[in-house]
Copies of this chain bind each other. A is one copy, B any other.
Amino acid sequence: MERITPFIVMDILAKARTIPDAVHMEVGEPDLSPSPKVQEAFIKAVKDRQFAYTPACGLPELREKIARHYLDAYGVSISPKRIIITPGTSGAFLIVLSLFSKLKKKLVLSDPSYPCYKNFSYFLNIDPHFITIGKDTNFEIPPESIENIKDMGGIMISSPANPTGSVYSAETLKRLINICDERKHWFISDEIYHGLVYDTKEHTALEFSDNAIVINSFSKYFCMPGIRVGWMILPEELLRPAEILIQNLLICTSTPAQFACLEAFDYPYLTSVRKVFSVRRDFLCAELADMFEIVAKPQGAFYVWADISRYSKDAFAFCSELLDNQGVAITPGIDFGSRWTDHVRFAYTQDIPVLREGVSRIRQFLAR
């Protein structure tokens, strides 16, 4: 447990919140509100006094709605009983990786990746095996790289990815999943940024195998990070072990919030959300291009991953100074892997005028 690192972006956020006119380009959560239908359903649930526990695996109606979403969005038919509601993806990681830890095998992760992946692994005594990704690997874990890893038990990827915004091609995804299926490795697909994909079309791992484990939530595309509702889709044999863990470790997911999520699949509204982020991405990438090396033009999520080595080899100091001098908060690369000391992540979870102000202040900072 000593290896668990602070989630640096959360500490930066806490500090940035104390600065009155700070520009928040560190925050990994949408600034947009969820669909008005969600708000109505939430209020109705509170008025109806929906304050009791739900079953451990979630509201049956919500599990059915999510199953319907997989049919509508991906053309994949999933039994609702394989869909389990969790307190955000955090709850799903806790349960899935706890079950994975029983294998006593290595978990393959990309470097960089979402910091909680490695920290959940350390917490649960899972040995992570990192594969460095970059332009040379098209920001994907190359399928051939997982063919000969000793004591490998599984792999966890995210697509679109945090912090790079990169999206796996269908071909790579399928090849990785096929290798895992052949070798009985777990393929864990974090699809939390699905829906926020701009130039291409994302694929759920379930299109390629029923053995894949999918984790997702209402936090990003659906614009409700704070309500803490997510889900996981498991193969049959993990359903009962997962339920027992949930009964003991979580009890259930917040009930009125689950009722609110019944109205989350408001596709016209969600299309407008995607459009907003797409425009911001184009704006921010264009503005940053002459200042930083944008390592990957992001195809999804709401982040820009940039190399700042022309200015500094110490991104943590760079970010601290930028925050202190200009009140602009961005995230140093080391949050996503210890080697990324000269990279930073910008989030476009603010409106264009705010992003414009942030960019302007960054320009002044660099011109010191």
Q: Which residues of A contact B (CB under 8 A)?
A: 1-2, 4-7, 10, 13-14, 17, 29, 31, 33-34, 39, 42-43, 46-47, 49-56, 87-88, 90, 94, 98, 101-102, 115-116, 119-120, 123, 223-228, 243-245, 247-257, 260
A52 to B224, CA, bound (A): 7
> Which of chain B's residues have a CB closer than 8 A to the CB of A245?
4, 123
Which B residues touch A116, using CB under 8 A? 248-249
Q: Let me know if B227 and A87 touch, CB within 8 A.
A: no
On whether the beta carbons of B248 and A4 are closer than 8 Å, the reply is yes
Q: Is A7 touching B227 in the complex (CB atoms < 8 A)?
A: no
CB distance from A359 to the nearest CB of B (A): 23
Taking a contact as CB atoms closer than 8 A, the residue among B1, B224, B228, B248 that contacts A123 in the complex is: B248
Q: Which residues of B have CB within 8 Å of A223?
A: 51
Bound together, the chains give a CA A243 to CA B7 distance in angstroms of 10
Closest to A229 in B: B254
Closest CB of chain B to A239's CB: distance in Å? 13
- The answer to whether B52 touches A244, judged by C-beta atoms less than 8 angstroms apart, is no
Q: Are B228 and A251 in contact, with the CB atoms below 8 A? A: yes
Residues of B near A90 (CB, < 8 A) are 249-251
**A16 → chain B closest CB, angstroms:** 12
In the complex, what residue of chain B is closest to A93 when comparing beta carbons?
Answer: B249
Q: A225-B51, A226-B53 are in contact. Are A250 and B123 (CB under 8 A)?
A: no
Residues of B within 8 A of A94 (CB): 94, 249
Measured CB to CB, the nearest residue on chain B to A248 is B119
With A51-B225, A249-B90, A249-B123 known to touch, is A244 a contact of B43 (CB < 8 Å)?
Answer: no
Q: Which residues of B contact A243 (CB under 8 A)?
A: 6
Once the chains bind, are A248 and B51 in contact (CB under 8 Å)? Answer: no
Q: Say which residue of B47, B224, B256 sits within 8 Å of A257 (CB atoms).
A: B256
Contact status A47-B52, CB under 8 Å: no
Complex-state Cα separation, A253 to B17, whole angstroms = 18
**Closest residue on chain B to residue A118 by CB atoms:** B248
- Per the bound structure, the CA–CA distance linking A327 and B253 in Å amounts to 27
Complex Cα–Cα for A53 and B89 (A)? 14
Cross-chain contact B115 with A248 (CB below 8 angstroms)? yes
Name the residue of chain B whose CB is nearest to the CB of A99.
Answer: B1
Complex: how many Å from CA A249 to CA B31?
A: 23
- What is the CB-to-nearest-CB distance from A258 to chain B, in angstroms, rounded to a whole number? 9
When chains A and B are docked, how far (Å) is the Cα of A90 from the Cα of B246? 10
C-alpha spacing A87/B228, complex, angstroms? 9
Q: How far is the CB of A273 from chain B (nearest CB, A)?
A: 13
Alpha-carbon distance A102/B6, docked complex (angstroms) = 17
A227 touches B248 (CB 8 A): no
Instruction: Assess whether B33 is in contact with A43, with CB atoms less than 8 Å apart.
Output: no
